[in-house]
Every structure is written in C-alpha cells, then in structure tokens.
Chains A and B, each alone.
Chain A
Amino acid sequence: MTFPAATGRLFSDPSANAAREFFRTKPRALRDKVMSVADAVRDLVRDGDYLAIGGFGADRIPTAAVHEIVRQRKQNLSFAGHTATHDFQILCAGNLTGRGQTLARVDVAYIVGLEARGLSPHARRVMESGTVECTEWTNYTLAVRLKAAAMGLPFLPCRSMLGTDTFRHSAAKIITCPFTGETLLALPALYPDVAIIHVHEADRFGNCRIRGTTVADLDLARAAKRVIITCERLIPNEEIRREPSLTAIPFFCVDAVCEVPFGSYPGNMPGEYFSDEEHLQLWLKMEEDEEQYRQFLHHYLFEPKDFNDYLQRCGGLERLRRLRAQELLLHQGR
C-alpha cells in the first residue's frame, strides 16, 4: 500500500550544516545580557522571522514579550503553533486589526483554542480568512522537530501522524527503517530564528531555572538561533554555580535576559500564581464584536506603556496576590 506524499510547505530550513554555520558564530562569552523587553524584541525579533514561544497553553508564557511584538508591529512572521493558546491569541491581534499582518505562516499543532475555555473568535477570524498559510503537525511531532534541531540533525523519525489528513497537510515524509524495514515518519528539524521563553529564575548571563514541566523548552532553547528569556526574577550567578544541576537552559543559548515579575500573567506560573480565568474570559468575550475588541486592545495592549502598566489595569498587586493564594491552594487550608 502506498500513501500520497504530504503537500504542506516547510517554513524553515532543516539543514544541520546551515545551522552549524550559524552556531559557529554565536557568542560564547559570559556577558551581561539584561535588557528591557522592548529592547530585546526590537533587536532580536525581525520582520519575516520564524518565531517560537515556550510554555504550554497559557502556562509559563512570556506574555510581556508577545505584547511587545504586536505593539512594535512586527510583520510577516512564521510561527510554531505548538500548544499555543493565549500567546497565539495575542499574536492574532496583529492581524485584521489595521496593523498590517503579524502572522503570515503557521506550523499548526494547536492554535485558535484556549483549551477548556473555548475558541478565540478573533483567532478564528484570522485563520478562516485565508490570509495565513498553514502546515499541520501535532504536539509531539513539533516537539520532535525541535529535538532534532537541538541534536544538530536535519531530521528525526517517529511513529505518529501516519495515515491521517494531518500527515497529508504536513511537510513530513514517509521513510523505511534501514534496520527493520518498518514504515516511519521523518520529521524535518525546526531551527527557529528566534525563541522566547519565560522561566522562574535567570542570572544576568542567561543561565535559567524552571520549576515544573518543561514542555519542549529545553530543546527549543537549544534549537533556536536567537533566544529571549523573560524571568520572574534575576538571581546572582553565585546561586547558579552553587547548584549547577538546576540549570535548565545554559547561558550560551541565550541572547537577552528580561526581568518581568508576573510575566506569565494572565497565564499560570507554577509555584508562583494561578491563571486569571476572569481576564482570559474577558478577552474571549471582547473578541466577539470587532469594534469592542479594538477598544479592548487599545486599553490593554496598545495604551499601556509597559507590562507593569498592563498589570495595573488588570487589578495590580491585589489581583496578583489573590492569584498567588489560588496557586498555593491557601484557601484550602494548606
């Protein structure tokens, strides 16, 4: 039995040799990389880039940097839609809102939805408009593509996605195992131009610590050519050296370090604060009407001068204190 080849377009170069040439020139020196989110996005996210974002859903996402991408009107991006929920929703605010086109191409594993909270009306408008080109994948296969890149390879095999329309609209290929003769899926390595990852702690050089699940972020940090880290707090380098086994992402992968307390808000940050479900519901509700949505974006995204201003507009410290109590289950007498 033969299967038709997949027809999706590959939005990035899987060449391991090309990646090696890039990484050959990436700085290895310990240098201070602390900067503002605005500067990091201005310098490191370029029009036409392939962008990938860490975390899962709205959990441990770099909200401040995603806001900044839309505020700075970055254009014509390719995007890894890997378990992307609120981050994808924010990026969609750069499409069909009179600000050009932020998203142009999407590798889809999970987009448009916010898990159990429902579908984003505006993300649907964007993705149903035919203006964004898509190629289909799955959560695991996109993770494998990042893993291949982190390994410095052009591809890796896996056993998922075979026989489905998801495969047909992907850019994967069918191969035969040279040892067993079994049919396998070959996944092209994904080397993003730029990745943005939110972590718990980082030092000024970019050595990072993450609590909780790591999703695909350890591979993402190693696969991407440029990496912006936003962190809940900066910690001293001596603390990293005291316990190096806790370093999840090493400094030599990282290009910018931005300290953004409550930086995953309105998403969840393990051990720090729970997701703000009321605010996420407000986003979904406001998106239903385009005019109302424009006003909402103006108030929460374009008018705030920085992320702290946004947090203030969402209820500030009092709201965040309640989300922290919720995360720590304090109301349950813990």
Chain B
Amino acid sequence: MAAARYNAMELMICAAAQMLEDGRSVTVGTGAPCAAAMLAQRTTAPNLLIFFEAGGVAPLLPTMPISVGDSRTFYRGLMATSMADVMETCQRGMMDYAFLGGAQIDAFGNLNSTMIGQNYARPKVRFPGSGGANDLASLCWRVIVLTNHDRRRFVEKVDFITTPGYLSGPGAREAAGLPPGCGPYRVITDLAVMGFDESSKRMKVLSLHPGVDRKQVEERTGFPLLWADPIDETSPPSDEALRILREEVDPHRYLIGRC
C-alpha cells in the first residue's frame, strides 16, 4: 500500500463518501458512516440531505455525534422531528441511501446484529438487536454496509437475520412483502468494495483496494465470492479529501486514528 499516505479506515470513509451523490438523501449512524456523510457534504455533495433516525434532519454537523440522537444530529439543522417521521420518509420512498454495519453478513447481504448462537432463549452473545437497521434496510433504496473484512464476520449463514439483505436470493424480498426495487448496494471493507450480482443477488467483488490481492480477500471471506471482470482498483483518496477528513471531520482521530 502506498507508504502511509492514508490508512484503511481513511480509505473506507473516502470510498463511502464518493458514493453519495449530491442532492440525494442518506440516513447515517455514528462512526464511519457519519464521517463519510460529513466528508461528502464538505467535498463532492454539498447538497447531501442527511437524516438521523432519532429525528435530526439536515444538520450542519459541527463535530461527529456520539449518539444517533444527541444534539449534534440536529445542530443548525432544518428540522428536529420524530423517529417515525424519519422512518416514514423512508417508507414513502424518499431515502436514497442508508449506511449499516453488523456482527455478521452473508453472501446475500443479510445482516446479524442480534445474537451469536443457535438458541434464541440462551444466546452465546447478545447484541443490541435491530435498532433501526431492519427498518432502514427494508425501506431505503440503497444500503451501503461498512465493515471490517474477516471470516468471523463474512459467514455462509448468519446466526440470525436481523436485517434483510436479499434474504434467500432473487425475488425473496418482494415475496416477503418488502417494497420492490431496493436492497443492499455496496459493501465497503478494509480490503475491497463489493456489490451484488444482478441475477443471483450474491456478493460480487467490484474493486480491490490498492495493494490488496484476490487471495487475501478470499482467505478472509467465509463464502464463495463472485468477481467482476475486470476487477478495478479502488480509487485512493485525494489529498484534499484526506485533509478535510483529518482536519475537519475527525480532528481528534477517534475513527481514523484507530487503524
């Protein structure tokens, strides 16, 4: 990797920011997704409409929020409303993007943030549950997942489908009654950017980050991946994006300092 001009987290945040087109709407949580939205707002997408699920609408984020409901999420915003109002904006079809994470993800982009184990009444590890993730993945047009790439996370079968990806494959979302035409769009990790194959709805590698090879990605994925042909290299972050990320978005390096 280009000697220390940027780290993996910086690359992930910049790649995510580039996906957000100007004039679109996005619901974000705290952490890396929020950093990506802040960066996009300060670079390529000044008219990005940012929502937080607790009710913050169009804030001019002064610093990164710690909670999805803290006062930063509507700082100099255009509205401070209710959770139902934000979710119903999604349900009406006005939310283009949502950012999510999870403890496990499978080839269809289904996410688990509920539990590890096979017995629901006695979980080995109890995680928070859906929060708003299931709602956002059900109701927003495009879901972008930001996560670290490892075998514990990228599994053949998630222990619990908290949040719908393409469920069991093509047509499954629509058959279950979910609004048509939406679903997982991209998965951005510390190794690669993935999308989903049009016909099989399985995860497909679109680009490898600079310095990453195919074998590394395969070794750290617990299911067979599809590969775009040819495979692109993920665009490295520009100097300007890195400067804004470091100086304005995350000056204390809470996120980007950890890598």
Choose, from B8-16, B37-45, B121-129, B225-233, the stretch at the interface: B121-129
On chain A, the residues within 8 Å of B71 by CB distance are 59, 212, 268-271, 274, 327
Contact code string B29-63 (vs A, CB < 8 Å = 1, else 0): 11100000000000000000000111110000010
Known contacts A160-B135, A164-B162: A113-B128 contact under CB 8 Å:
yes
Contact B66 A275 (CB under 8 A): yes
Number of A-B contacts (CB under 8 A): 210
> Shortest beta-carbon distance, A261 to chain B, in Å?
17
> Shortest beta-carbon distance, B104 to chain A, in Å?
12
> Shortest beta-carbon distance, A251 to chain B, in Å?
21
B70 at the interface (CB under 8 A from A): yes
Known contacts A160-B138, A215-B83: A59-B67 contact under CB 8 Å:
yes
Contact code string A255-284 (vs B, CB < 8 Å = 1, else 0): 000000000000011110011010000000
B2 at the interface (CB under 8 A from A): no
Closest B residue to A168 by beta carbon equals B161
A3 at the interface (CB under 8 A from B): yes
Contact A128 B126 (CB under 8 A): yes
> Shortest beta-carbon distance, A103 to chain B, in Å?
13
Contact A169 B135 (CB under 8 A): no
Contact B83 A110 (CB under 8 A): no
B142 at the interface (CB under 8 A from A): no
A30 at the interface (CB under 8 A from B): no
Contact code string A84-105 (vs B, CB < 8 Å = 1, else 0): 0100000000000000000000
B222 at the interface (CB under 8 A from A): no
Contact B83 A158 (CB under 8 A): no
In whole angstroms, how far apart are the Cα atoms of A300 and B62 in the complex? 33
Known contacts A143-B83, A215-B82: A166-B69 contact under CB 8 Å:
no
In whole angstroms, how far apart are the Cα atoms of A166 and B161 in the complex? 7
On chain B, the residues within 8 Å of A215 by CB distance are 54-55, 69, 82-83
B81 at the interface (CB under 8 A from A): yes
Binding site for A on B (CB under 8 A): 29-31, 52-56, 62, 66-71, 73-74, 80-84, 87, 91, 110, 114, 120-135, 138-139, 160-164, 167, 172-173, 175-179
Known contacts A140-B84, A213-B74, A216-B83: A165-B132 contact under CB 8 Å:
no
Contact code string A193-215 (vs B, CB < 8 Å = 1, else 0): 00000000000000000011111
Report whether over half of chain B's contact residues are helix, strand or loop; otherwise say mixed: loop
On chain A, the residues within 8 Å of B55 by CB distance are 56, 212-215
In whole angstroms, how far apart are the Cα atoms of A84 and B160 in the complex? 21
In whole angstroms, how far apart are the Cα atoms of A130 and B68 in the complex? 29
On chain B, the residues within 8 Å of A212 by CB distance are 55, 71, 74, 80
Contact A147 B129 (CB under 8 A): no
Contact B139 A139 (CB under 8 A): no
Contact B135 A128 (CB under 8 A): no
A138 at the interface (CB under 8 A from B): yes
Contact B124 A128 (CB under 8 A): yes
Contact A56 B69 (CB under 8 A): yes
In whole angstroms, how far apart are the Cα atoms of A144 and B139 in the complex? 14
Contact B131 A138 (CB under 8 A): yes
Pick the contact of A163: B62, B82, B178 (CB < 8 A): B178
A50 at the interface (CB under 8 A from B): no
A57 at the interface (CB under 8 A from B): yes
A235 at the interface (CB under 8 A from B): no
Q: Which of A113, A163, A215 has the most CB of B within 10 A?
A: A163
Q: Which of A108, A144, A213 has the most CB of B within 10 A?
A: A213
A68 at the interface (CB under 8 A from B): no
A83 at the interface (CB under 8 A from B): yes
In whole angstroms, how far apart are the Cα atoms of A184 and B177 in the complex? 6
Contact A166 B162 (CB under 8 A): yes
Contact B176 A141 (CB under 8 A): no
On chain A, the residues within 8 Å of B128 by CB distance are 110-113, 119
On chain B, the residues within 8 Å of A60 by CB distance are 69
Contact B134 A213 (CB under 8 A): no
Sample 17 A-B pairs with CB under 8 A, ordered by A number: A59-B70, A85-B67, A110-B131, A111-B128, A111-B129, A113-B127, A138-B132, A138-B133, A139-B135, A140-B87, A143-B82, A159-B139, A160-B138, A160-B139, A161-B138, A164-B162, A212-B55
